[in-house]
Amino acid sequence: MQIHWLAILAAAVAGFMVGGIWYGPLFGKAWMKARGLSEEELKSGANMGKIFGATFVLNLIAAFALDHLYNTYDTPLGLHYSLVVAGIIGAGFIATSVGVNYLFSRLPRALFLIDAGYWIVMYLVMGAIFGLLV
């Protein structure tokens, strides 16, 4: 099995960038409101280096797992196939799991839509990168 290190690194960086845009200019204020947090509360006591560093490592793990999954099947990858698989992961596994947790935690629907939407888009972007680079 071949490990596609460049695609893994590019997908992890892209996932990190999607998060910055998603929880920044796109939905940052709506997310804070749905979480009931202010900007001051988010910054107080937070080790942002640790948070961002751990987030990037987790994105690397997700990208590595995605590469492994793509390598598991004897099918040429291509953009369409990689997007279908990534979409199934994002919408079919991650978003539904987040949804179950949010229902039992009684978290707002707006928060679910923001967070689940992020995971769907993040995996689609990672899938696109694999489809284009592998």
pTM over 0.85: yes
Q: What is the DSSP string of 87-101?
A: HIIIIIIIIHHHHHH
What digits encode the pLDDT tens for the residues 86-116? Answer: 999 999 999 999 999 999 999 999 999 999 9
Give every CB contact of residue 33 below 8 A, 6+ residues apart in sequence: 110
| Residue-level pLDDT at 7 | 97
> Which residues, other chains included, contact 38 with Cβ-Cβ below 8 Å and sequence gap of 6+?
32
Question: In terms of Cα–Cα distance, which of 49, 37, 123 is closest to 86?
Answer: 123
Instruction: Give the pLDDT confidence of 29-83 residue by residue, as tens digits.
Output: 999 999 998 888 887 878 889 999 999 999 999 999 999 999 998 777 899 999 9
**For the packed helices 109-133 and 96-105, what is the interaxial angle rounded to 10 degrees?**
160
